[in-house]
Structure 1
Amino acid sequence: MREPNRAIWMPWRTPTKRHGALSERRTSSTDRAMTESIADLADRAMAHLNAGRFAEAATELEALLSQKPDLPDMWYNLGYAQRRLHRFEEALASYAQALDRGVADPQEVHLNRAVVLTGDLSRPDEAKEELGKALAIAPRYFPALLNLGGLHEDRGDREAAREAYAKALEIEPGDALVLTRLAVLSDIESADDTLVKRIEARIGAPSSTADDRADLGFALGQILDRLGDYDAAFAAYRAANQASAQVKTANSFAYNRAAESAHTDRLIAAFDTPDTPDTPGGEEKPLFICGMYRSGSTLAEQILSRHSRVTMGGELDLVPSILVKAFGRYPDDATNAARSKIADLRTAYLDDLEKRFPDSDIVTDKRPANFRHIGLIKRVFPGAKIVDTLRQPIDNCLSVYLAHLGGQAPYARDLDDIVHFYREYRRLMAHWQSLWPDNILGLDYDALVSDPEPHIRRLLDFAGLDFEEACLEPHKGEGTVRTLSAWQVRQPLYKKSSGRWRNYESHIAPLIEAFDKPN
């Protein structure tokens, strides 16, 4: 079985591509020529796929399968390429072809279909059906159990998630990610709990990888924090961050303060005027929510999603994968982009949004790091409204350090790096605010949880929405939530996260020195 991809915080794992064998039948010279042509197409397709050239891979695979459709592994690979190209319905159809043509290990294909359905098309009921089919074929198929637990977590079903993870743990007793998720979901009353001891033993095991030590270390930190042993919790978090820094992946890199500051400079220079193209504006379909990680963006989205006109989009990849990717040298090339290109990007974004959320009115695009791209967002969507979620800086930066953000936030592993990144974020946001003061709302998390209604009314008014009582109870939302805050936002609004830094005051000197303590 191919090794599945590893998720950072939510346990979705996806098998990737296959190297399927071609028929060796060779009789006439015509047959030989066709077989060689098919072999060439297959070789080129796999070369493109392995190099990440998914459009080229899809073209070669489509040509191959038009000549020889009875190649289930190639249908599998075509589905994989189409998913990477955001051609989600086509990917589902290609995976179905692989199943219909007798693909080996069909449970893997059902898993891939489940990932497309839940991760890309927001159809969790159908995803659950696919995982059920995978487990009907292979009841001990570990990735399906793991992902089923993740799906139940996304939907707020704690008991069902625990049950799926417990079954997974029977198959892989030492799996770090399963132990991590059970630690989050379990009511642990003592550091002597059996699960705590298993986690500690797994961290210290000679076979533990840096990935394992990071996953488990953050879980152990959470447990000790809940138990009120803050010194031990911080020690666990520190070790977890050190392990996370040792994880090497294709996309991992060390945080570079000079490079981050230079990038901020380039963004400010590239987008130095509020002028936007003369394209349709007004009330835009996407409503953008951004800011620092752990600053309340998930709560803001939950509040908005309770409104009858709003669909929760979650952490969409559309800005980086469609808007930013369109420019070879970003942000420089975006400055003088032709009006026609901007219009094409707008259409591409909205078309993709429609695929994922058909017939929706307003869709939230809640990707925290989009704060970097507000200049480009405003060029493509001149009427865009942007919610910038804010939190007391010491609490915010500490929460980043205590979260397992992995390679997507390399600054998160070091308190001084977090301070630097936070200051660059605020410097850039001050620039965007100076250009579009009426289109960017700073939503203060601490003020919101302290006195919800006036801030919720202000948020709805900013978004051009009439007040609805349901927005006062964001914890009652039934949508899927796929972030680190998934369980927090399913609770009634509370204030206990404000002032959390005091529990760790003796360990966070860089944060205390950088920011004023609140009264």
Structure 2
Amino acid sequence: MRATANALSREAALLYRSGRFDAARETYGRLLERDPQRADDWVNYGLLLRMKGDFHSALCAYDAALEHGAARAEEVHLNRAVILVDDLAKPEEALEALEAALDIRADYVPALLNLGNIREDAGDREAACHAYGRALELEPENPMALMRLAEVTRFEGPDDPLIARLRKAVAQAGRTALERADMGYALGRALDECRQYDEAFAAYRLANQASRGLAPHPYDPAGAERFIEALIAAFPSRGNEASGGGASPIFICGMFRSGSTLVERILAAHSHIKAGGELPLLPNMVRERLQPYPQSLAGQTEAFYDRLRGLYLEGLARMGLRGEGLTDKRPDNFLHVGLIKRLFPRAKIVLTRRNPLDNCLSVYFAHLDPTLSYAATLQGVAHWHSQYERLASHWQALFPDDIHFVDYDLLVADPRNEVRRLLEFLDLEWEVACLEPHRGNARVRTASAWQVREPLYKRSSGRWQNYAAHIGPLLEVFGEPGNP
């Protein structure tokens, strides 16, 4: 039996390395049914189950690995923590898993970094600083520890020792492109906080140069325009509204850094709303099942959309969520409004807007995924902003009663009126708590995590003026406010 089990283990590992994940999963399943004592194979099986989206079964696999004495048990606990916080929104259980990992190895830096992330998500700045600081003590050259500690630190002046460490790290030879990006964005944020705007912009410029080096291809304006044209062509009309679709989340989307997190926090302060955060369900569906998108939707039947709707709802159920009273706040879901309205004809869509100079500058300063290659140049982000407005106008024309625009600048200038309009659009009763979103306890996992934990403020409106000397490409496209 042992020889057969070893052969199956080798076969499963080979299938995994060759990218045949379904076959690898099935082989590990057969192997572990025959010989459940194989702890390391349980670990691999758990990884594959998570890739499939079967999160609870993945946790069971990791539990079996621990039960049977897996080597490097601290890594197994870490894997459990990642599923619990990222996939199942159970941060308290994730903390228990991280504490178990640190009980095994108190110097286990990956667990400390994840512990800091969870504390940061919860708004516990002091605990996050402690975890990141401990990680940096253990590994003084760890770029992630330095970057994360800088992100949660309040800086009072440019002579802060942590800024000196960031400057040194940015200038250090031999850094990878990812490390240069991590350090550059963190240094830019620190200097911006200290009002050292010229040096901050220089740091952001270097960070974006590094980010461009990580992108699989440069931003293609003509290709972006063709994609938006294809989306408009794929959804020329409202579709079959009689198909129903049942209760759905409230979808909040728009340009990155245009206020979507703040809108979700405002709604999450309402007694009838739960914040879902940046759910991956729609993007995963498009990537895994609907390629080439949106051409694959041509001629599809209502039964096809019924199946997709079921997959979305199943995904919510796996995370312990239900559609009614939930927000799905994924900024780039603005690309999928047509698909959303096919799946959920009664869905309400909230699109966010902001002064384009502030919005584009904030995107340029954000440490976004390098695949969003438009974000790494001012010209690219300005062009993508125009494509967003073009598509948003199309959606508004198709679904005028089901789309509501929230203007960030109006919201922070006159919150009572703008929040009231938002709640009326969603058929929600007025609740004064929505004017104090910073008091809510919903977790926040975006670049604006700390801003939305403060009372509503106006200081981000007009921020572009601090950088007017550096944003010629944006001023050429949008002009200065009030100067056509």
What TM-score comes out, normalization by structure 1 length?
0.90
Of 380, 404, 413, 1:450 maps to 413
Aligned counterpart, 1:516 = 479
Q: Does the aligned pair in 1 maintain the 2:245–2:343 contact within 8 Å?
A: no
Aligned counterpart, 1:259 = 223
Query: Map of 1:122-201 to 2, 5 A cutoff?
Result: 122-201=89-168
Change (3 A) 1:401 1:328: closer
Structure 1 residue 338: deviation in Å? 2.5
Distance 2:151 2:40 in 1: 37
Structure 1 residue 105: deviation in Å? 0.4
Residues 421-462 of structure 1: CA deviation (Å, up to 9, x unaligned): 111111111111111111111110000000101111111121
Higher deviation after alignment, 45-54 or 409-418:
45-54
- Report the secondary structure of 1:407's partner residue: coil
Q: Does the aligned pair in 2 maintain the 1:302–1:475 contact within 8 Å?
A: yes
Q: Does the aligned pair in 2 maintain the 1:180–1:216 contact within 8 Å?
A: yes
Q: Is 1:218 aligned with 2:182?
A: no
Aligned counterpart, 2:3 = 35
Percent identity for Structure 1 against Structure 2: 48
Distance 2:101 2:130 in 1: 17
Distance 1:169 1:118 in 2: 23
Of 204, 214, 225, 1:237 maps to 204
Q: Does the aligned pair in 1 maintain the 2:185–2:203 contact within 8 Å?
A: yes
Structure 1 residue 417: deviation in Å? 0.7
Aligned counterpart, 2:388 = 425
Of 80, 84, 87, 1:120 maps to 87
Aligned counterpart, 1:370 = 333
Aligned counterpart, 2:51 = 84
Structure 1 residue 45: deviation in Å? 2.5
Structure 2, unpaired ranges of 5+: none
Distance 1:61 1:511 in 2: 54
Amino acid at match of 1:119: D
Structure 1 residue 479: deviation in Å? 1.5
Of 49, 65, 70, 2:16 maps to 49
Structure 1 residue 154: deviation in Å? 0.3
Aligned counterpart, 1:71 = 38
Structure 1 residue 513: deviation in Å? 1.1
Residues 271-291 of structure 1: CA deviation (Å, up to 9, x unaligned): 111113642246x33111110
Query: Map of 1:448-487 to 2, 5 A cutoff?
Result: 448-487=411-450
User: How many correspondences in the alignment?
Assistant: 482
Q: Is 1:104 aligned with 2:67?
A: no
Q: Does the aligned pair in 2 maintain the 1:354–1:360 contact within 8 Å?
A: no
Distance 1:176 1:245 in 2: 19
Residues 382-407 of structure 1: CA deviation (Å, up to 9, x unaligned): 11111101001111001111111132
Structure 1 residue 327: deviation in Å? 2.0
Q: Does the aligned pair in 2 maintain the 1:323–1:345 contact within 8 Å?
A: no
Distance 1:491 1:345 in 2: 38
Structure 1 residue 508: deviation in Å? 0.4
Aligned counterpart, 1:24 = none
Q: Is 1:276 aligned with 2:240?
A: yes
Q: Does the aligned pair in 1 maintain the 2:248–2:344 contact within 8 Å?
A: no
Distance 1:332 1:277 in 2: 21
Distance 2:42 2:119 in 1: 29
Of 334, 346, 358, 1:383 maps to 346
Distance 1:287 1:150 in 2: 26
- Report the secondary structure of 1:289's partner residue: strand
Q: Is 1:349 aligned with 2:316?
A: no
Amino acid at match of 1:106: A
Change (3 A) 1:258 1:334: same
Amino acid at match of 1:267: L
Amino acid at match of 2:278: E
Query: Map of 1:287-326 to 2, 5 A cutoff?
Result: 287-323=250-286, 325-326=288-289
Higher deviation after alignment, 215-224 or 356-365:
356-365
Residues 334-361 of structure 1: CA deviation (Å, up to 9, x unaligned): 1322222211111111121122134674
Change (3 A) 1:53 1:319: farther
Amino acid at match of 1:466: E
Amino acid at match of 2:184: G
What TM-score comes out, normalization by structure 2 length?
0.96
Higher deviation after alignment, 296-305 or 238-247:
238-247
Change (3 A) 1:44 1:416: same
Q: Does the aligned pair in 2 maintain the 1:419–1:514 contact within 8 Å?
A: yes
Distance 1:370 1:65 in 2: 39
Q: Does the aligned pair in 2 maintain the 1:255–1:411 contact within 8 Å?
A: yes
Structure 1, unpaired ranges of 5+: 1-30
Distance 1:276 1:268 in 2: 17
Structure 1 residue 333: deviation in Å? 1.6
Distance 1:286 1:253 in 2: 34
Distance 1:323 1:367 in 2: 14
Structure 1 residue 324: deviation in Å? 5.1
Distance 2:252 2:223 in 1: 25
Q: Cα RMSD over matched residues?
A: 1.6
